[in-house]
Amino acid sequence: MGLFDRTRLIKRGARVDLEIYDASHQERWVAVRSASRGFVAPWEPLWDADSHKPLAFRARLKMHQEEWKQKRGLGLLLVLNTEQDRPIVGGISISNIRYGVNMSASVGYWTGSVYIRQGYMFEGLNLALDFCFDVLRLRRIKAATLLNNDASISLLHKIGFQHEGVSREMLCINGRWQDHTRFALLYSDPRTRAT
């Protein structure tokens, strides 16, 4: 995997570290996903009975490893670095990486229910954007969220993403095709960062 042969740590932040998925995360991932099922399920593709279990983690790990091998995407986890047991507070996926005349990617994210509204995703998403712009050398990062996801819309605006429009029935979320509002951030756009 080149860039990640040496370490799983991608970026260190003041309170969270951005790490690439690996097998050592399984127990902590299962814990936060299980505890957060009711909170995150309305914002994600339909959960099945095993979506928060070790088998789901291993499938996700394999998918992220294959995407990175093909340079199409990367799965990252936010790990709280202020506690000894280093719990996972959320995740960020960088997907649809395009080079050449496009130089863009899409970003998606989730936060465990215990960790919402504490600024962890604000810090983590900024770390991921630094990685996208400085390491992957991308020019444009896209994000989309459900029209009623006020917390996500607020986060994107706070960082500096610009609203670009609405896509009808863009993704199947929680078992229904739903409209999404689209945002983008250019490498040259002003950005608010964690202090």
Q: For the segment 48-65, what is each residue's pLDDT rounded down to a tens digit? A: 767 778 888 998 889 999
Distance CA 162, CA 165 (A): 9
pLDDT at 13 over 70: yes
pLDDT score recorded for residue 47: 67
pLDDT at 6 over 60: no
Residue 175 lies in a domain: no
Give residue 195's identity as a one-letter amino acid code: T
pLDDT score recorded for residue 136: 94
Residue range 133-184, pLDDT digits in tens: 999 999 999 999 999 999 999 999 999 999 999 999 999 988 899 999 999 9
Residue 29 lies in a domain: yes
Question: Which uninterrupted H or E stretch holds 169?
Answer: strand 162-173
> Could you give the residue ranges of the DSSP H alpha helices within the chain?
26-35, 37-40, 54-69, 120-130, 150-159
Average pLDDT over residues 102-126: 96
Residue 181 lies in a domain: no
Residue 85 lies in a domain: yes
Total structural domains within the chain = 1
pLDDT score recorded for residue 4: 45
On whether the CB atoms of residues 194 and 119 are closer than 8 A, the answer is yes
Residue 147 lies in a domain: no
Range of the domain at 120: 2-139
3-class DSSP assignment, residue 186: strand
φ, ψ for residue 7, nearest 5 deg:
-160, 155
Give the closest residue to 90 by CA, choosing from 119, 65, 70, 47.
119
State the average pLDDT for the chain.
90
Residue 19 lies in a domain: yes
pLDDT score recorded for residue 5: 44
pLDDT score recorded for residue 143: 98
Residue 35 lies in a domain: yes
Question: Hey, what are 175's tokens?
Answer: 């078992």
Crossing angle between the packed helical segments 150-159 and 120-130, to the nearest 10 degrees: 50
Residue 195 pLDDT grade (very low, low, confident, very high; cuts 50, 70, 90): low
Residue 157 lies in a domain: no
pLDDT at 1 over 70: no
On whether the CB atoms of residues 95 and 67 are closer than 8 A, the answer is yes
Give the closest residue to 160 by CA, choosing from 188, 121, 181, 127.
188
CATH number where 70 lies: 3.40.630.30
